[in-house]
Structure 1
Amino acid sequence: MAAVSPSPPAAASIDRGDSGLQAYARARLAEGDNALGLAVAGYRAALKQDPDRVEIARRSYVQALESGDGALALQSAALLDGAGMLPRDGTLLRIGDALARKDWQAASALTDRMTQEGNFSFLSAIVRSWIAVGQGNYAPPTIDAKDRFASLGQRYLDEHVAYQALNHRDLSAAIPAVRRALVARARDGAALRLTFAAQLAGIGARDEALMLLPADHANFNVARAAILRGRAKEQPFTPAQGYARLLARLAVDISSDPAGRALGLRLARMATFADPLGAEPHIVAARLLVEQDHAGAAVQEAAKVPAKNWFAPLAQAELIDALAASGNLAGALALARQQASVPGAEPERQVRLGRLLAESRDFDGAAAAFRAAQASYEPDKLPWTLLLFEGSALEQGKRWTEAREVLERAARIAPDEPAILNYLGYAQIERRQNVEAALELIKKASALKPDDAAIADSLGWAQFVTGNVAAAVPSLERAALGAPTDATINEHLGDALWTAGRRYEARYAWSAAAINAQGDVAARLAAKSEEGLKPEYAAP
């Protein structure tokens, strides 16, 4: 075999003249560089050249799902299935394909298989109900309370009871199910409200639709305007569309655990295959792509929702995050400013803008945005997080007196919140103000959250600053164990070790800190490593 290039090939270099192994090797290199497009092109070429190699099919299956290539995913799944090696989520992929093709017999057989495999059997009752809808035998989904997975299935049940009741214009069954579903799905609340409102408006239930969309929420402006003009003509959900919503919800839930993010992204992509024109699956896929460092693909995914679509404001929020993650901070800021300036802009729009402004080091602008977010709340219902955000921006913007007032207000609202106690305490330790009182704040934060590396660092540094080096060293060692690449923690540990007489270990800690340090911090660490700890080299 010819030598493999050490860098990902241009797309044109993966051609029909390559052997399957050459294309596979190149695809693996591209995958290692997180180049989804190049990787999937390589796997597609490799699979074409060597369709019987299971390893190629396995990698192309995963990469096709992550990149959104439905045809390649199905091709790879068929090959893996023939070899008896199809992953359990592959059954979900094939069910979606059968529903989209209206092959109810195949969908039913695959659902039986999903039930037998066990992993996703809690979805069976809902999937079977959609197959019945396709066959013209409407029967609302029900879940046996004695089933060992009943509680999992119940989480998704009401949404689909509502969709199917709306398909049959049965408002008496739909409305209670809509309300229960909205209570259960707080994270997806805005998207779910829009979806239900579209279905309600489509059957002429205009007042019920508008009740789901508060007039003072900018996310609902496009939808409300369309409903009020009588332009809502949503069609009943098809089985494939209902199934797509089921997978999208499951993707969100699974991805809430970092260990499930890879599977969550695959499920979101399957949802987009089942309903390629639906906005919700693309929005979820964009969000999960950002979480898995595929920001460029996330930009493309979020952009698939048209600007005049009811869901466009939600898609634009994901687009802002994707643009920022891809390095286009200017583009993200421009869109965030536009979203935040709309009448009725939700607090989360101001928070998103504030975070981007802070990232661009416009701390005054960030603080103003966080204050704007607070304006939507009654004083006694103000979330402490917004005060923490504002206080952080003010502190970073060197407006410490104002910052302290805001942070102390946050601490009065949430006196047992470790994040506030830690920030307020550490900020004072850095400035060598009220060090004993600040140490007590950090001790309380540590007691409330003992496994947090950042808080352990604050505690150790506060102990060091107050002269208790013997206590500081184990606290900082615990912090470094929890965050071994953190430059600040390792510098603090080095300073404490040097003071404790453990100078070889101190230099080792400073060297570890220097790996990720920049600017003045890097220069200070270099000086300490060479000359040892001097007063002018001490960490702040």
Structure 2
Amino acid sequence: MPAHAASDSGEVLNALVRARLAEESGAPAVALSALAMVSSAAPGLPGIRGRMLEQAIEAGDLDAAHDAAQRLWAAGDRRFDAQLVLMVDAMRRSDWKAARTYMAGRADKTGADTIARLITPTVNAWIDIGAREKFPEQHLLAVNSPTRPEPALTLQVALVQIAAKRADSAAALTDNITLTDRTSQLVATRVAATLDKADESEAAKRLRGRIALASGQREDPMLLLPDQPVSTPREGVAQWLGILADGLARTPNGSAKLPLLFARAAYWLNDEDWAVRTTLVEALDRNGQREEAMVLLDAGHQELPGVLTMRRAELMADSGDLAGAAKLAETAANANPARGLLVRFADIARRSGDPTAAGRAYERLEAALGDDEGDRALRGTLLIARADLLLQAGRWDEAQPLMERAVALRPGDASILNFAGYSALERRKDIEQSLARIETAWRREPRNASIADSLGWAYFLTGRTDDAVDLLEKAQRGEPDNAVIVEHLGDAYWKAGQKFRARYNWRAAALLADAEMATRLVAKLRDGLTPATTAP
């Protein structure tokens, strides 16, 4: 073999290794660069173009994705991701003939290509809008059952009709739609905004009323986004691909790659669509690309909606910037005081160790509650959350009345009874009342490991050692990685005379312990159990 050929072979091999390492570490741009070198040196190497397409999609590089897709298509490899990228490129150029050709170029003869069938009718309808064809909704009507029509597809028909300057037909159509699922609710919000833009405000108002009814007034983050109409082919296809991406991401045990493909395609078509941006952020985060997700939520000169500001705060918290996250979360909650955003703000403030900010969020939430069953349950939970913050600060006298209010409000709530009972118990206050509350909680939820631990510890403190060991063993089987439970059982073993087991448990707890517990465990392992080293 000539020396230069051997050198080229070594470079290709090195580039392949670099690409694989970059793929596995979640660095698609680096992987794409290495694969481009491989492709240049060995263009006939099997599978390279497909890998380049996949990495370009992950990296968000449309030019590279289009180049790889075009080469695959020309070679007869009619992959779905290549088809989608080529269709997106054609629509971006308003080349309706090419877009139609690409959509028809991968016709599935077996009828098994479910994903393609989800997008083809809607895409073809919007292509017809761009090409100014008559009756563009025919593609959607052909696949929508006349006896049991899918609400989401019917709503797509309405959007296409409005784009075709037949808003009156769309308004009449929407009046007969029952919103049966989350997908139809999300599409309905876009239809309502589009009806408003088309001067069909009464129809839009009626449709929004049914959205609220169908959602049960739940604050779905997607429903908190600003209204955005859908008027052009690119906007129409983008909103549908985004909604499909959102649905695919919610499929249990589903792939992270397919939602990302749909979300990327949607974003390439319309990067000003807030719902599309939201979907892409979630797809990137799910695919391990948190930094890229945060870049999409870098407001710059554009003000983010409150719900997306909150999402950025959560990503910041997940990345370790808890103080900055708490500050940003409060800004988001001030901009949009929806209940769901207040809950998320309180969670971030709590994680950041800012009890004052979390307390403000809890108080605002409580003030916004009504008196129905759901709100009463949430009020009890909030009272306990506020009490927990005070307990962490050593302020028992302020926390205790809040817990009593929670118990009075929700006397049958096992979680509240357990929290109130155990909080008093670990401070050695009202032992008998605390024991009674925890026993009530245990009777309601006998398989709850945390409650089993609370009751076992209550028995330990009241001298019922054998009962304590029995319950604490059950609790440990339920949560073997819970350091508190493991330490409690060790203490109970020691008191029961099972000192070998006690030391075994203490050593196990030490592997999971925080600093305070670790210090206590070292002393126990050295000196045995004493009143000073008994768990709180």
TM over 0.5: yes
Amino acid in structure 2 at the alignment position of 1:117: D
How far does the alpha carbon of each residue in 1:269-301 deviate from its partner, in whole angstroms, 9 at most, with x for none? Answer: 332233333222111222343455533211111
SS at match of 1:138: coil
1:337 counterpart = 2:334: no
1:425/1:83 Cα in 2 relative to 1: closer, same or farther (>3 Å)?
A: farther
How far does the alpha carbon of each residue in 1:159-200 deviate from its partner, in whole angstroms, 9 at most, with x for none? Answer: 4233223223424534763895866338976x963x445423
The more displaced of 241-250 and 205-214 is: 205-214
Number of equivalences: 496
Distance, in Å, in 2 between the alignment partners of 1:85 and 1:430 is 67
1:105 counterpart = 2:101: yes
Distance, in Å, in 2 between the alignment partners of 1:527 and 1:268 is 55
Distance, in Å, in 2 between the alignment partners of 1:292 and 1:513 is 34
Distance, in Å, in 2 between the alignment partners of 1:262 and 1:221 is 25
Mapping 1:313-462, distance limit 5 Å: 313-342=306-335, 345-380=337-372, 382=375, 384-385=377-378, 387-398=380-391, 399-400=395-396, 403=399, 406=402, 419-420=415-416, 423-432=419-428, 433=431, 434-444=433-443, 446-447=445-446, 450=447, 455-462=448-455
Distance, in Å, in 1 between the alignment partners of 2:418 and 2:120 is 47
Give the aligned partner of residue 173 of structure 1. 170
1:439/1:374 Cα in 2 relative to 1: closer, same or farther (>3 Å)?
A: closer
Give the aligned partner of residue 476 of structure 1. 475
- Counterpart contact for 1:114–1:120, Cα < 8 Å: no
- Counterpart contact for 2:414–2:444, Cα < 8 Å: yes
Distance, in Å, in 2 between the alignment partners of 1:441 and 1:114 is 60
- Counterpart contact for 1:162–1:178, Cα < 8 Å: no
Give the aligned partner of residue 539 of structure 1. 535
1:209/1:260 Cα in 2 relative to 1: closer, same or farther (>3 Å)?
A: same
1:107/1:283 Cα in 2 relative to 1: closer, same or farther (>3 Å)?
A: same
Distance, in Å, in 1 between the alignment partners of 2:242 and 2:63 is 19
**How far did residue 413 of structure 1 move?**
6.3
Amino acid in structure 1 at the alignment position of 2:160: Q
Distance, in Å, in 2 between the alignment partners of 1:114 and 1:298 is 37
Give the aligned partner of residue 136 of structure 2. 138
2:198 corresponds to which of 203, 209, 225: 203
Distance, in Å, in 2 between the alignment partners of 1:352 and 1:536 is 39
1:306/1:203 Cα in 2 relative to 1: closer, same or farther (>3 Å)?
A: farther
SS at match of 2:320: coil
- Counterpart contact for 1:43–1:60, Cα < 8 Å: yes
1:364/1:133 Cα in 2 relative to 1: closer, same or farther (>3 Å)?
A: same
1:248 corresponds to which of 242, 253, 274: 242
1:279 counterpart = 2:277: no
Distance, in Å, in 2 between the alignment partners of 1:501 and 1:478 is 21
**How far did residue 472 of structure 1 move?**
2.1
1:130/1:326 Cα in 2 relative to 1: closer, same or farther (>3 Å)?
A: same
Distance, in Å, in 2 between the alignment partners of 1:171 and 1:417 is 52
- Counterpart contact for 2:237–2:266, Cα < 8 Å: yes
Amino acid in structure 2 at the alignment position of 1:270: A
1:179/1:223 Cα in 2 relative to 1: closer, same or farther (>3 Å)?
A: farther
**How far did residue 475 of structure 1 move?**
1.7
Distance, in Å, in 2 between the alignment partners of 1:20 and 1:498 is 64
**How far did residue 366 of structure 1 move?**
0.9
1:260 counterpart = 2:254: yes
SS at match of 1:319: helix
- Counterpart contact for 2:469–2:489, Cα < 8 Å: no
Distance, in Å, in 2 between the alignment partners of 1:261 and 1:386 is 38
1:417/1:469 Cα in 2 relative to 1: closer, same or farther (>3 Å)?
A: closer
Distance, in Å, in 1 between the alignment partners of 2:532 and 2:72 is 63
Give the aligned partner of residue 185 of structure 1. 182
1:518 counterpart = 2:511: no
1:70 counterpart = 2:67: no
Distance, in Å, in 1 between the alignment partners of 2:359 and 2:126 is 49
- Counterpart contact for 1:282–1:304, Cα < 8 Å: no
Distance, in Å, in 1 between the alignment partners of 2:37 and 2:121 is 39
Distance, in Å, in 2 between the alignment partners of 1:73 and 1:204 is 40
Distance, in Å, in 2 between the alignment partners of 1:221 and 1:383 is 24
Distance, in Å, in 2 between the alignment partners of 1:59 and 1:504 is 57
1:118/1:84 Cα in 2 relative to 1: closer, same or farther (>3 Å)?
A: farther
1:331/1:362 Cα in 2 relative to 1: closer, same or farther (>3 Å)?
A: closer
- CA-atom RMSD, angstroms? 4.5
1:222/1:53 Cα in 2 relative to 1: closer, same or farther (>3 Å)?
A: closer
1:478/1:199 Cα in 2 relative to 1: closer, same or farther (>3 Å)?
A: same
Mapping 1:113-124, distance limit 5 Å: 115-118=111-114, 121-124=117-120
1:182/1:514 Cα in 2 relative to 1: closer, same or farther (>3 Å)?
A: farther
- Counterpart contact for 2:366–2:382, Cα < 8 Å: no
**How far did residue 372 of structure 1 move?**
0.8
Amino acid in structure 2 at the alignment position of 1:294: Q
Distance, in Å, in 1 between the alignment partners of 2:321 and 2:338 is 23
- Counterpart contact for 1:295–1:322, Cα < 8 Å: yes
Distance, in Å, in 2 between the alignment partners of 1:92 and 1:28 is 25
Question: Which TM-score applies when normalising by structure 2?
Answer: 0.74
- Counterpart contact for 1:459–1:475, Cα < 8 Å: yes
Distance, in Å, in 1 between the alignment partners of 2:530 and 2:73 is 66
1:106/1:113 Cα in 2 relative to 1: closer, same or farther (>3 Å)?
A: farther
- Counterpart contact for 1:104–1:131, Cα < 8 Å: yes
1:172/1:526 Cα in 2 relative to 1: closer, same or farther (>3 Å)?
A: farther
**How far did residue 104 of structure 1 move?**
0.8
Give the aligned partner of residue 160 of structure 1. 156
SS at match of 1:116: coil
- Counterpart contact for 1:388–1:406, Cα < 8 Å: no
The more displaced of 72-81 and 129-138 is: 72-81
Distance, in Å, in 1 between the alignment partners of 2:418 and 2:251 is 25
The sequence identity of aligned pairs, in percent, is 25
1:316/1:488 Cα in 2 relative to 1: closer, same or farther (>3 Å)?
A: same
